[in-house]
Every structure is written in structure tokens, then in C-alpha cells.
Structure 1
Amino acid sequence: MPISHKPKSELPAQKPIAVSGKNNKQNSVPHEIPNRYSIREIGSEQVLLCIEAPNLFVQVKFGLSVSAAAVSKASPGTIYLDGVAQTGPLLDHTRQVYNFDHHEGCIRLFTLSTCEQVLLMIKKGLDLRSREWKIYANDPDLDTVMAIWLLLNHLRINERESVREHILFPLVRLQGGIDSLGLELQNFTGLPPGVLNQNRRIIDHLRRKEVQIKKDGLWEDTDFLEYTADILYEIDQILYESKNFGKSLGIEELARVNLPDNRVAVVLQSDQGIYEIEPQLKKIYGGNVGLAILKRSEDAYTLRQVDPFMRGNLEDVYETLNFMDPAVKYRQLNNRWGGSSDIGGSPRDTGTLLTPEEIAKGCHDTFQTYTVFQKLTDLGRIVLYAMTVLLFAEFLAAYWYSYQWFDSPLINALISAPAFGFSIGVVLLSTILLIHVSGRRLWQFGIIPPMGKKWAFLLPITILAAFAGGAWIPAGAQSLTAFPDTGLLPACIFLPLSAEYLFRSVLHGILAQRSRIQSHDGHYFLSWPNLGTACLYSFFPTFLPFFNNESFDPLSIDLRHGTVYFAAFVFSISLGFVRERSHSFFTAYLFHLIAVLCVVFLPPALALI
């Protein structure tokens, strides 16, 4: 990423800066210091990162200004630097919003510079490891760049042997004094002449590019992130020795999410193994790392539960990721996420098709508590969806004149039933809804071939519940004594299809996004998606006929309706088990179809015997 100013070859050549050790011996600046700074695109924004502080994201935008009202509403984990916020210095520990500044809302003569404020807060114990932080700056002068360097190097600053404090403290003090008071009062810092002169040379060295670019009138056209990264690396070469770096390098954070109990899950990339980087993770993130996910290659990951006392374990994470991963689709027996309760990995045969962000989201969703309020909110949402679909279908059935569409009397007879038009309406609107909510992960909505056989035993229960009134059967077809005409057959086929497509595919899939469901080889339990869709499904076979009755009287509800509701509830629960155990709504449709055909055609057949 080129810098928008003169090439480096056109800038004046600089001699290495000599710095004095504690014993006053001269040491040339080491050139083996690795460059730890990089620029990445996150969403639509470019941010500056340091591999040793992967939870800090720096943005430098020329002219960026945030009003005092916006600062008061800033998201937790926000740091403003040196003039970005149009308000005075701010330390809001409750919201974790900070403004390190000496421009607005203060007496500049009496206020420490931005870099001095940051250093003081770090040495006083400001802990930046527990969350993500967004750092905003609008002009990378040396005061601001020094503040950014201090924030990105906060871990090493608190390790006294890691950084040259005898250079850092005088350098920050002198730069802060010059920035606040001007060159004429630099002696006011109280530094000895030798230390003062040495740090003046360092400051001149670090500002040489800034001075040259401004002299050429290209400052506003400069790529500030690239420029800042270059100056940060130069500061590293002054304040560190190459021996201070080793195994701590080579760790890059790809994604991070918060977990309960102040824990985090981080997806990382490193040239080291998961056990090798674990001590370094504890250093970078403190004791907050709950899960570490190491990216070994483009499609291979290792999962490690760093905190053994977390609620839940990796077994729950595997199940969530297997449900999410297109390479698994919640159905592969061997090629799937798995392992032990504290360490595991991605599918071995094909690898994973999940991105680091999706893996992190899966970890978050696994440990996120699904509250009763959230369940009721989601239930209300699918009630609204179902009402919209079914009212549209009722409207379509009321104006279904299909006998006028074709010249063939046979075809018109087959599709003329209003129940057939009702089914078409349900399927049509359900498909639109599925496209809207599925995100092309159709297997999560049961649009996939069935597997397993541990659901077949539920067929008798389903048929019995259908005879009790639980199935979607065309009106008037429940108590026939003779075989119906051919016009009833399409309705008997498509009504169950529309019901299962809406309830066991679309609505069940919506609830399953945040709730666990059964698998073909897991234990049996009643899932929330099954229960929620059963409660909703049972309402419509019970009361749907009233929607066509203009004289509907709520007082007409009697015990018979309660019996039908219970039968429909048992019927729906049974089909929900079939759908979850087989991973496919097609098996639920097959059971529903068999049950309807039994109810409609079995009594006439028995009457002939």
C-alpha cells in the first residue's frame, strides 16, 4: 500500500540514532526488530493492528471530528486521541470510553499532552486486554503516534525489562512538553542536558518524514495509516532490542467474540501450535480467554478450551459448528467437527467451509443464554410470518377459478379445489420467506435428503393423531363413506406439502438458528423449535375453518376444538421428531401425506370389505 508522498529515496538519508544505555555506553539501533504492524480491511474500514495487541483497532482519518453528544453515546471500548472528540479529557471507566486530549475543555498550559496522558494511565493499570477497543485519531503528528504506540505496546510497557524505560519516559516527557508548551520551554521538562539532547535527536529523527511531507504540501494526501505504521516501527527500533522478541511473534487475531462470565473466544493464525501459543494468549488477553481457535490452513482449525471452568464445553461447540458448516450440513458421520471436551478440530476429509468470523459466531451462539423473552419474541415473529402466509393463501383460495385456465376438463377437475389453491398460496409465500431468512443454508431448513431410520417408529402415532383431527385434510374429506372423485386427490397431496414446508421447514428453521435440535444419532429430547412450531401449527387446523365464517362467535369454541388442538399438537410433535431425526422436512411430509391418505381413503376401503 503506497504512501501518497515522495518516495523514500527522495527523503534525506538519516544516520542511525545512537541511544545511551544505563552505563552510558553507545549502542546503535538494532535492525533485526520485526515489524509487528499491519493494515487490514475490516468491513468497509481499514484499520491498523499490532500482532501483540490484536484487540486494538486504530483508525486515522484526516479531519475526523466527533461531537460531544456523540461521545456521550459512544460504544463501550472507544478511545479518542488528540482532538478527535470535541470535548474535554474524559475517563469514563463505567462505559470504558476515554478521550486523551489537551485541546477542548481544558487549559492547555496546565494539561498533559495526549501521549503523556496515555502513558500515565497505562502505568496506573489501565487494562486493555478484556475487550475490543477502537482507537480514533485524525492527524498523525508525533504526539498522536506516540500515544498510539503506547496503547499498542501496553503489555510490554508494563514489563519493565522488555522496553527501554530510560529512553521511553524522557522521550514521552519531552515530546509532550514540546507539543503542549513549544520548543522555547523544552528545558522546563527538567531533563539533564545530555538526555535532553539525545531525545531531541530522536524526536527530530521520528519527525523527519512529517516535516518533509508538510514542506512539500502533501500532508493531507498522505496515507495516514501507512505513515503511522512506518513511524511505529521506527519507534520500535529505538525502544526495543531484538532479543526482546521471540515466540511472542507470529500471532494474528482473525476474529473475536465475547462469552459469558467475561470470557472471550478468539480465532487466531500462527506458525506455532495451539499448546505453544497458549501461554502467550494468557499474556495478551489476561485470564479472559475461554476458547482459542487456531487456523492451521485455509480450511483446517484446532479448537482448544483454555478455561476448563467455563459453563459448557467443546462438545456443544462441535454441535453448533456441524449445524452451520456447509461441508458437514449436520449429517456427516466421520467428516465433521469433533474431538474431546477440551481440544478438537475441523472436518478432516474436506476441511471446513466456515470463515473465521462464522466460527467465532458459532462459539458465541453456543454459550449464549437463550432467554424466555427471546424465545417468545422469536415465537411472535413466526406467528406473524404464519398469519401472513395463511391469510394470503385464504385469499387466494377464495378467488381460485382454476377451471377457467385450461382447455382440458381433466386438468381443471384436478386443480379446481380451493384447497389446492390454498396450498399453492402457502408454498409460494413460504418460498419467498425461505429465500429471505435462509441465507442459502437450506440444510438448516430441512431442504436436504433424509438420513437415518430412527424416526420410522413414529408413523403409527402420526396416523392415530391424524384420525383424531390433527392433519391438514381438505374440508369434508374426514368422514367419507365412498371413494372421493379425482378432484380431491391433488388437495390431499398438496395440503400436507404446504403445511410441512411452512411449519417443519421454514418456521422450524428460523427457531433452530438460536436453539439446539435433535440429530440422527443423538439422544431424544423435545427441542424449542419443535415445541414452538407445534403450538402454532395446532392452532390452524383447529380454528382455520372459522376464518371463512363471517358469523364467527368466540363463544362457539367448545371441548371438540380442544380435542382437535391436542390431536394436532401430538401430530405436530411427532412430525417434528421425524424432521429433526432425519434432518429433512421431506420425511415429515411423507408421514403427513400417508396419514392424510389413510384418513381419506381407508374408511371407504374398509366399507367395501
Structure 2
Amino acid sequence: MKKGMTLSILPRRTMSWEEFVAMTPRNSVALDGVVSGGPRFDERTMHANFDHHDGVNRDATMSTCMQAYMAIKGGLMESFRENGMPCLNAFINDTDQDTAMAVWLLNNYKLFEGVQSLPHINRLLDLTNKWDITGGAYPINLDEEIVRQHCWIFEPYTDLRKTGKLSQADENMLRDNIEAVMKRLDMLLMGQAGGKTLDTRHEILYDSPIFKIVNEIGGNEARYHLYGKGMNAFISVVAQRTDGRHVYTIGRRSQYIPFPIQALYDDFNLAEGLTRVNGWSGSTIIGGSSREMGSGLSWQELVEIVKARLALD
């Protein structure tokens, strides 16, 4: 991180706004799920929360990286200062596309202040924003160059996620991971970004007119493909952890698709003896199994729970 900027990584940890303000210094920013409760700013303590997961209308709330970008444009670093010098302490609990992009933008804020504009960065930011808001559902031609660049830039993260190691990664592993992504963002900045052929491999484990159970062999890229083919709601098998437990994601295209994700979080937690604090949780359109513990339920058990909720035979 550049002078005046620090990055603290708290793997999979989530806290309240009050806890965050109490445990962190002035000029601290929580990113993408570290603090529950949605976007917030306290000008007395100089604490901010850039987030779009909890307590928000997901479809109508900017992604974390777009919130960071708009804050930079709005003069964030004119206020986040100590002894007249720039000072910002960023806190993250994961290294996904939205988080990494937000950290990179904050670290390079001088490039984006005022009327400055970098069209190639703006294109990546726009796609990252749309895909993160929608959990990968936003329709786009997957043959476009910006899509191949996006998937190449964030490949270190998606590779870690597919192995199942992300769900148990410690601070050092996550720091190495985000630094690898930020190096690729630096390459994009210099016009040296690579491109990636999308891995859309997948296996449909269960199919119905309402939802699918999908083994996302190709990770996020498989989901982009399936949404492009008309999928509206899903539960994906993301990975199997080294302890044998599963990592799942559940989602729907938007709030206009009648698939009761919020109720299903509670149904799955009831089956596992968990709560939304330590178990299944997320927004109104995308969420998943416990970041800390994963899930002990098989995908077949998930199917039966969903069918019971939907009153399907």
C-alpha cells in the first residue's frame, strides 16, 4: 500500500458499526461486509462503511468499489488526513472482485480525483459494479474484450475460490491473493492486461422450472454463462473444503424473480443448528453458506429443503 494507506485483513469476520468504531483508529474504512448494516459515515470519528450486503436494496445500491470511486470523486481524501497528510486505514474480510477493486482504487485515489478519467479503468469498474450488484446475473456478451480482461485480472481470486481454500484462508494467504490481483490491475493501468478464455464448465445436478443446483466447475464464469442462457435462480456448489464441508452460493437474477432467498437462509440454518450470525446469510438476491464453517448439508438435502419451502412435489 502507498504512503498514508494501510490494509488490515480480518478473514471472514463481520462486526457491528459500533464495534468497528471502537476497535479502529480515525480515518478507517470498512469494505464489503466487514461491517453489517449498509453504507455509513461518521464525520466526527472519520469512520466509513462501504458495503451493499446487509440492510440495503441490493438492486438499487452501488457495489463497494463504486461507492469507493464515488467517495474519491466526492473528495474523500480531503477529509481522511492526519497532520495534513493523507491517511486511510482500510479493513477487509475477503478478497473478491469488488473488494480488490475497491482497495486498488483507494490506493490509487490520486488518479481519479476531480475531472480525471481513465476510460479503460472505468470500463472495468462498470462491469465489476454490475456483476457484483447482481451476483453475476447482469447480461453481457461474454466474447467482449473487457469480459476476458475482467476474468484475467481477478483470476488469482477465482482460482483460490474454486479450490475451497478461500473459506479457510488466513491473513497471509489473503494478503498474497489481493496483492496478486492488484498487480494485474496495475498492468491494466499500464495497458498491459492479459485476457482469459472463460471457463464455463458446469454440471446441472438438479433442474426445475424454478431453480437449479449447479456444480460451478468453472466458478463465476460458469455462472455468467448460465445466467446468459436464461437461468433465474440457483444454488451452486462452489467447492468442497479440506475438512469435507461444502461451500455454497444461492442467488436469483433480481428481486423480481420469485425465489425466497431470505426464508431459505433461515430454513438451511434451522437444519444445521445455525443462525444468520454464524450460518447462511446474505442479501435479498445473493448469499451463501457460512463463510467460517461452510455447510454440512449435501446438495440433495438442500433440494428437499427448497422443495418444502416452495411446496413442490
Q: TM (normalized to structure 2)?
A: 0.54
Structure 2 contact 157–178 (Cα < 8 Å) conserved: no
SS state at 1:76 partner: coil
RMSD after superposition? 2.4
C-alpha spacing 1:70/1:229, structure 2 compared with 1 (3 Å): same
Aligned to 1:130: 81
Question: Within 5 A, what are the aligned runs for 1:482-521?
Answer: none
Question: Within 5 A, what are the aligned runs for 1:115-194?
Answer: 115-127=65-77, 130-131=81-82, 132-158=87-113, 165-187=118-140
Q: Aligned match of 2:155 in 196, 200, 208? A: 208
Aligned to 1:238: 188
Aligned to 2:144: 197
Instruction: Specify which structure has the bigger relative contact order, considering alpha-carbon pairs within 8 angstroms and separated by 6 or more residues.
Output: 2
Greater Rg over alpha carbons, structure: 1
C-alpha spacing 1:215/1:101, structure 2 compared with 1 (3 Å): same
Amino acid at match of 1:119: Y
Aligned to 2:169: 221
SS state at 1:183 partner: coil
Amino acid at match of 1:225: R
SS state at 1:184 partner: coil
CA apart distance, 1:241: 5.6
Aligned to 2:35: 85
CA apart distance, 1:57: 0.5
Aligned to 1:16: none
Amino acid at match of 2:152: H
Aligned to 2:201: none
Structure 1 contact 177–186 (Cα < 8 Å) conserved: no
Structure 1 contact 58–134 (Cα < 8 Å) conserved: yes
Amino acid at match of 1:239: L
CA apart distance, 1:113: 0.4
SS state at 1:186 partner: coil
SS state at 2:77 partner: coil
C-alpha spacing 1:184/1:87, structure 2 compared with 1 (3 Å): closer
Q: Aligned match of 2:58 in 108, 133, 137? A: 108
Amino acid at match of 2:44: T
CA apart distance, 1:171: 1.0
C-alpha spacing 1:155/1:211, structure 2 compared with 1 (3 Å): same
Please give the alpha-carbon distance, in whole angstroms, between the structure 2 residues aligned to 1:142 and 1:124: 23
Amino acid at match of 1:99: N
Structure 2 contact 157–181 (Cα < 8 Å) conserved: no
Q: Aligned match of 1:67 in 6, 9, 16? A: 16
Structure 1 contact 60–140 (Cα < 8 Å) conserved: no
CA apart distance, 1:72: 4.7
Amino acid at match of 1:93: E
Question: Within 5 A, what are the aligned runs for 1:447-526?
Answer: none
Structure 1 contact 59–137 (Cα < 8 Å) conserved: yes
Aligned to 1:500: none
Amino acid at match of 1:201: R
Deviation per CA, 1:113-140: give whole Å up to 9, x if none.
0001000111122116622321100000
Amino acid at match of 1:170: R
Structure 1 unmatched ranges of 5 or more: 1-48, 188-192, 243-609
Aligned to 2:6: 57
Runs of 4+ in 1 over 3 A off after TM superposition: 71-75
Aligned to 2:271: none
Structure showing the higher strand proportion among its residues? 2
Structure 1 contact 81–144 (Cα < 8 Å) conserved: yes
SS state at 1:86 partner: coil
Structure 2 contact 11–169 (Cα < 8 Å) conserved: no
Amino acid at match of 2:156: K
Question: Within 5 A, what are the aligned runs for 1:422-437?
Answer: none
CA apart distance, 1:167: 1.2
Please give the alpha-carbon distance, in whole angstroms, between the structure 2 residues aligned to 1:84 and 1:231: 20
Structure 2 contact 81–88 (Cα < 8 Å) conserved: no
Amino acid at match of 1:65: T
Identity %: 24
Amino acid at match of 1:153: N
Please give the alpha-carbon distance, in whole angstroms, between the structure 1 residues aligned to 2:114 and 2:18: 37
C-alpha spacing 1:86/1:183, structure 2 compared with 1 (3 Å): closer
SS state at 1:105 partner: coil
Aligned to 1:554: none
Deviation per CA, 1:181-201: give whole Å up to 9, x if none.
1333234xxxxx69x822211
SS state at 2:4 partner: strand
C-alpha spacing 1:225/1:93, structure 2 compared with 1 (3 Å): same
Structure 1 contact 59–225 (Cα < 8 Å) conserved: no
Please give the alpha-carbon distance, in whole angstroms, between the structure 2 residues aligned to 1:120 and 1:232: 20
Q: TM (normalized to structure 1)?
A: 0.28
Amino acid at match of 1:178: W
